[in-house]
Amino acid sequence: MTKESENKADANAASLKVPQHIAIIMDGNGRWAQQQGKNRVFGHKSGVESVRASVSTARKLGVKALTLFAFSSENWQRPETEVSVLMELFMLVLNREVKRLHKNGIRFRVIGDVSRFSDKLQKKIRAAEQLTSDNEGMVLSVAANYGGRWDIANAAKLVAEQVLDGVISSEEITEQLLEQHTSLTEVPELDLMIRTGGDHRISNFLLWQAAYAEFYFTDVLWPDFNEHEFTKAIEVFTQRERRYGKTGEQVKQNN
């Protein structure tokens, strides 16, 4: 890319109405590796570069929260060797990247049921979260052993415990109360969900949070998802009319 095209890209990015919260389903690592004549593990390792690019781009554009779907609760069904490599890769990324995140003022957190991970990995996750806990820049949430149904069920369990303890009555349960116990209650409402890899589904990811999010599906496989592709997704988001149950005329009047 020439300097002129870089400046043009920066100018286009600066003019975008940037979503406050973006979530990404990072799909296509295995297929990308197969296209290269490599095994699936090679694709997962190559996908780390796209994670770096997405974090960097989101931070540069002023995104407040970025949530990445790294490992679903259903991914345990994959071949044992692949799961083992993914755990090792998670540990490696934590070791290499957290200090860089901290240096750039990014707060790191993991959402999901981490109790199934090894004690060593759980300890590394807690250390990363603690190191970056006071950072006031972008919040990077990594969904690991996460499922949207689990998130809602876990929130319901926490609210039910409050009812049993007499803290609240069942009549006081509202959508707002339940949302306060979901995984991403501390970050802005989800604006945009991106899925790479060509599939048009959300695979049990952020079911509660995605209620009024915009969706962007691309055939680009995750290791090829770079700053240009990220910016393209935001450009499409900018062109959408978000009505939240209102008519288009009402939205235009309010604007």
Is residue 99 situated within a structural domain? yes
Task: Give the tens place of pLDDT for each residue, 22-79.
Answer: 999 999 999 999 999 999 989 999 999 999 999 999 999 999 999 999 999 999 998 8
Q: Considering its fold, how many domains does the chain have in total?
A: 1
Q: Which of 103, 113, 94 is nearest to 151 (CA)?
A: 113
Is 124's pLDDT higher than 70? yes
Is residue 180 situated within a structural domain? no
Is 90's pLDDT higher than 80? yes
Is residue 52 situated within a structural domain? yes
Q: Are 30 and 42 in contact (CB under 8 A)?
A: no
pTM of the model: 0.89
Burial of 214 (0-12, 13-18, 19+ CB in 10 A): buried
* CA pair distance 1, 206, nearest whole angstrom: 35
Is 119's pLDDT higher than 70? yes
Task: Give the tens place of pLDDT for each residue, 152-207.
Answer: 999 999 999 999 999 999 999 999 999 999 999 999 999 999 999 999 999 999 99
Q: Are 242 and 251 in contact (CB under 8 A)?
A: yes
Is residue 2 situated within a structural domain? no
Is residue 82 situated within a structural domain? yes
Range of the domain at 61: 18-151+189-196+203-254
For residue 2, the model assigns a pLDDT of 46
- Better pLDDT: 5 or 130: 130
- CATH number, position 131: 3.40.1180.10
Q: How confident is the model at residue 9 (pLDDT cuts 50, 70, 90)?
A: very low
- Catalytic positions: 27, 75
Q: Which of 202, 175, 198, 179 is nearest to 189 (CA)?
A: 179
Is residue 58 situated within a structural domain? yes
HEC assignment per residue over the chain: CCHHHHHHHHHHHHCCCCCCEEEEECCCHHHHHHHCCCCHHHHHHHHHHHHHHHHHHHHHHCCCEEEEEEEECCHHHCCHHHHHHHHHHHHHHHHHHHHHHHHCCCEEEEECCHHHCCHHHHHHHHHHHHHHCCCCCCEEEEEEEECHHHHHHHHHHHHHHHHHCCCCCHHHCCHHHHHCCCCCCCCCCCCEEEECCCCCCCCCCCCCHHHHCEEEECCCCHHHCCHHHHHHHHHHHHHCCCCCCCCHHHHHHHC
Is residue 67 situated within a structural domain? yes
Is residue 6 situated within a structural domain? no
Q: Which of 5, 44, 58 is nearest to 194 (CA)?
A: 58
Angle CA(65)–CA(15)–CA(247) in degrees, nearest 5?
Answer: 75
Is 244's pLDDT higher than 70? no
